[in-house]
Chains A and B, each alone.
Chain A
């Protein structure tokens, strides 16, 4: 049974860590936290599923899922350009509105029911499709690690990365430096949308397909991001840790109350992290004030 807890936690954490990576990219480059990426997750999962139903080809369906994610990422980028960078909180609210619109449209198109993710059928001659659950976990884990490594390489060695950081830090100044901030912003959103699309495929395998998929992941991905901070190397560890807490709570408490208890513990951890960081910042401010007064 204990083995099952770890396996469940691992299955959940893989999808969450990949989505958190997309959010992390958006935050580190564009200095914004947006809910619009969640639409890429839903679109990626549904796109992959429907492509598989039509073509019966896993490679095409994965590609289709990623492309759907990228398209929604582009729409999100367009929305953020319209909303503007003046009010971050308004951006959050606007992106939430965008997410709600996409969710409503997907509900209308698909009928809103809970579906099994048909991308991996039980019997198939294809190598990808003949994976069993633990093997799929290993496959997902490899994808997750690979994406993390690719992201770090992108961060260290690509010029777009430096340009994007410059744009995120100072939008007006990057215009003066003859960069095209709008283009850079769109590129980063496309990249993050693609990663979110992949995470959608992984999450849908674990949780199945339903239009409320986004609500399940928003909070946990943000929780992971807040607890992780800026250290990308700890992203997977924290996502596994938070998923493990939920998994243990579900196992220990009777029935579905465990889910609520697990979420409460996660919220508590996030709250403590936030308050701790805020207290540290306020202490630093007080110290600085004292130093200035003594001078």
Chain B
């Protein structure tokens, strides 16, 4: 029972970290960053391959985070030259591309069989508990940052980039910091996934996780950050993991995920429309 609980909470933590990754980009640049799941997946494969070849953990971490960060900066560079609409389409295409390569490079990624972490050094309950506590502390820290000067500057940049520029904020610097943070969190999500499951399949960390993270991130704008964050990530991620242990077939399980995600997305879009209409009426 305890192990089961730990697995559910760890998946919740992965969701939280991926949501933070999407949230950083959404808040500073107003762009819908869907690639969190893909970057997490790539970093997961990188971690598994290196650790299976007995490369030291320190070296993996030192090489892994810069790669993820560079990748997210490249993607965000694309975002500077595309509109929000085009950016969504391009990222959707890139996600599909990454997924296909992961599926078909079966010598490296195991293809449709997935790949397993052969070293057992990460299979420690204390490490998992430490990760859970670390993620919760991180979320609390980000919540605190929201109410500081940096948090307000960050919010202003996202709401009106031109306005922020006119009062002397270097918006490019804020975009860059957001990109770095986003890459870091995506990569962390992949790492936590590998440490908690020790196995990765191309379907595990894919576009639907990125979408879930994004839909949770959209809700976070405004007040009550912690409440919204906890509730949305619980419904989207922890509930998904609880279903894994329910005695229903895989097909039905994935379909139920789809239903939850779909209802959430439709709810968000309708809610935003109502908010806009209310604002206009006021």
Which residues of chain A have a CB within 8 Å of any CB of chain B?
A: 33, 79, 82-84, 86-94, 96-105, 107-108, 111-113, 215, 218-219, 222-223, 226, 255-257, 259-260, 263-264, 266-267, 270-271, 274-275, 278-279
Contact = CB atoms under 8 A, between A and B. Distances in A.
A30 to B, nearest CB: 15
Interface in B217-268: 218, 251-252, 254-259, 261-268
Contacts of B218: 93
Nearest to B98: A260
B261 A97 contact: yes
Given A82-B273, A222-B89, A99 B262 contact: yes
Contacts of B32: 89, 93
Interface string B261-282: 1111111111011001100000
Interface stretch (B6-14, B37-45, B77-85, B168-176): B77-85
B50 interface: no
What DSSP secondary structure best describes chain B's contact surface? helix
B156 interface: no
Nearest to B84: A89
A90 B273 contact: yes
Nearest to B90: A271
Interface stretch (B63-71, B101-109, B118-126): B101-109
Contact of B265 (A94, A223, A270, A278): A94
What DSSP secondary structure best describes chain A's contact surface? helix
A38 B246 CA distance: 30
Contacts of A223: 93
Interface residues of B, number: 46
Contacts of A83: 266, 269-270, 273
A94 B266 contact: yes
B16 to A, nearest CB: 21
Given A87-B272, A101-B259, A263 B92 contact: no
B84 A219 contact: no
Contact of B268 (A94, A219, A267): A94
23 contacts: A86-B273, A86-B276, A87-B269, A93-B215, A93-B265, A94-B266, A96-B265, A97-B268, A100-B259, A101-B258, A104-B254, A104-B262, A107-B254, A111-B251, A112-B254, A113-B251, A219-B92, A222-B89, A260-B103, A264-B97, A270-B89, A274-B86, A278-B83
Contacts of B257: 104
B100 interface: yes
B73 interface: no
A190 B270 CA distance: 21
Interface string B115-138: 000000000000000000000000
A80 to B, nearest CB: 10
A84 B276 contact: yes
Contacts of A89: 32, 84-85, 88
